[in-house]
């Protein structure tokens, strides 16, 4: 059996009882180690908690060399551990498809992820639209395909969850080109950097999917003991020191319920100013009034 097991957001003990029971009977255990990190647990702590050795599975292993993970899964129990929920990334779906193609049985054990825990900032999950990912810009690569999704969400009044990039065991372009297995230090995008990139792309696009005054909420270390929320405009949050990773951001939509606003005000430095920015934003994106069609003169 191949088990895909969600670990939750932060602690070794965030795993479900069923997930832990499955690990206990596995012959090999892999931890996916590139889409997220378990903030309050080291590899050594996980191994001690499970009573088993755990192998780190980087992007290359999962996307290119997954045969190592699937090896013998039709005769042994193999666990593939994912921070959050197993289906938080499409590569995990691909792993399941490859296993099924080889007639290997698969069992998925779910857990909490940012996709549902984001509700702890006070915004209702029903009011979220498409989720987007913000990657690190480089001198030659500044992708902006996510902009259109934010624009679509904003036009129908929905909030946008922005997931911030992390770089774990990544190679520089030069080392990759030269075939040198030298990896860069881990990097985690901050709220400020995300907002700076948002503002840069809005300036270049100029269609006002959002503005510097658009209200948003920064989410830091979700699910940990020191999780933090900060409400403010995108401009204000571009100056915000969000501290240690991991981080995500929510850009508010027009359909912001009164209770959502009251909740978010608790995280604003200037409550009056934040309330004003929400009001102005809702007015800007308010749909045009319906006008009945005129009758044909004939």
Q: Are 220 and 243 in contact (CB under 8 A)?
A: yes
Give dist(CA 138, CA 129) in Å, integer: 28
**59 pLDDT more than 80:** no
Look at 200 and 92; give whichever has higher pLDDT: 200
pLDDT of 227 reads 96
CA 254 vs. chain centroid, Å, equals 22
Place of tokens 């200037």: 270
Is 265 one of the annotated binding-site residues?
A: no
Look at 164 and 59; give whichever has higher pLDDT: 164
Give dist(CA 296, CA 174) in Å, integer: 67
> pTM of the full predicted structure?
0.89
CA 296 vs. chain centroid, Å, equals 52
Q: What is the pLDDT of residues 239-285, one digit of tens each?
A: 999 999 999 999 999 889 999 999 999 999 999 999 999 999 988 87
pLDDT of 184 reads 64
Region 140-157: mean pLDDT is: 95
Look at 89 and 113; give whichever has higher pLDDT: 113
Is 113 one of the annotated binding-site residues?
A: yes
> What is the separation, in whole angstroms, between the first and last Cα of the chain?
72
pLDDT of 254 reads 87
**13 pLDDT more than 90:** yes
Look at 293 and 269; give whichever has higher pLDDT: 269
Residue 179 in tokens: 């075939």
Listed in order, strand segments (DSSP E) in 101-140 are: 106-109, 132-134
Region 7-22: mean pLDDT is: 97
Give dist(CA 152, CA 158) in Å, integer: 9
Q: Which residues pair with 26 in a beta bridge?
A: none
Helices 191-205 and 146-155: crossing angle in degrees, nearest 10, is 80
pLDDT of 102 reads 92
Please provide residue 238's backbone torsions phi and psi, each rounded to the nearest 5 degrees. -70, -10
Percentage of the chain modeled with pLDDT above 90: 73
Q: Are 19 and 5 in contact (CB under 8 A)?
A: yes
pLDDT of 4 reads 96
Topology given in CATH for the domain delimited by 2-112: Cobalt-precorrin-4 Transmethylase; domain 1 (3.40.1010)
Give dist(CA 6, CA 148) in Å, integer: 31
Region 104-122: mean pLDDT is: 96
Is 85 one of the annotated binding-site residues?
A: yes
For residue 30, the surrounding DSSP H or E stretch is strand 28-32
Q: What is the pLDDT of residues 212-247, one digit of tens each?
A: 999 999 999 999 999 999 999 999 999 999 999 999
Region 72-92: mean pLDDT is: 89
Find, among 99, 203, 187, 202, the residue nearest to 138 by Cα.
187
Q: What is the pLDDT of residues 154-202, one digit of tens each?
A: 999 999 999 999 987 665 556 556 566 555 678 999 999 999 999 999 9
Ramachandran sector of residue 206 (left: φ over 0; alpha: ψ -120 to 50; beta: rest): left
Name the average pLDDT for the chain: 91
pLDDT of 62 reads 77
Ramachandran sector of residue 144 (left: φ over 0; alpha: ψ -120 to 50; beta: rest): alpha
pLDDT band at 296 (very low <50, low <70, confident <90, very high): low
Sequence spans of domains, the chain = 2-112, 115-283
Is 250 one of the annotated binding-site residues?
A: no
Q: Are 5 and 81 in contact (CB under 8 A)?
A: yes
Topology given in CATH for the domain delimited by 115-283: 3.30.950
pLDDT of 145 reads 95
pLDDT of 103 reads 92
């Amino acid at each position: 059996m191949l088990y895909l097991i969600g670990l939750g957001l932060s602690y070794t003990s965030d795993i479900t009882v069923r997930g832990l029971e499955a690990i206990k009977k596995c012959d090999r255990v892999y931890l996916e180690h590139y889409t997220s990190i378990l903030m309050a647990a080291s590899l050594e702590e996980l191994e001690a908690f499970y009573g088993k050795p755990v192998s780190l599975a980087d992007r290359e292993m999962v996307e290119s060399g997954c045969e190592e993970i699937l090896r013998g899964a039709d005769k042994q129990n193999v666990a593939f551990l994912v921070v959050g929920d197993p289906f938080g990334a499409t590569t995990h779906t691909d792993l399941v498809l490859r296993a099924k193609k080889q007639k290997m049985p698969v069992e998925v054990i779910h857990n909490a992820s940012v996709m549902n825990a984001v509700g702890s900032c006070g915004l209702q999950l029903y009011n979220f639209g498409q989720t987007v990912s913000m990657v690190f810009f480089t001198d030659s690569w500044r992708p902006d395909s996510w902009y259109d999704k934010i624009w679509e969400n904003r036009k129908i009044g929905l909030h946008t969850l922005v997931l911030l990039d992390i770089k774990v065991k990544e190679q520089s372009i030069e080392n990759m080109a030269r075939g040198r297995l030298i990896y860069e230090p881990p990097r985690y995008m901050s709220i400020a950097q995300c907002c700076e990139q948002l503002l840069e792309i809005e300036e270049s696009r100029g269609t006002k999917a959002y503005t510097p005054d658009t209200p948003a909420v920064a989410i830091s270390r979700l699910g940990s003991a020191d999780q933090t929320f900060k409400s403010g405009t995108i401009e204000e949050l571009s100056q915000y020191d969000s501290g240690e990773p991991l981080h995500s951001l929510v850009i508010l939509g027009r359909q912001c319920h009164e209770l959502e606003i009251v909740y978010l005000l608790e995280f604003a430095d200037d409550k009056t100013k934040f309330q004003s920015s929400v009001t102005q934003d809702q007015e800007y994106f308010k749909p045009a009034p319906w006008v009945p069609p005129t009758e044909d003169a004939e």
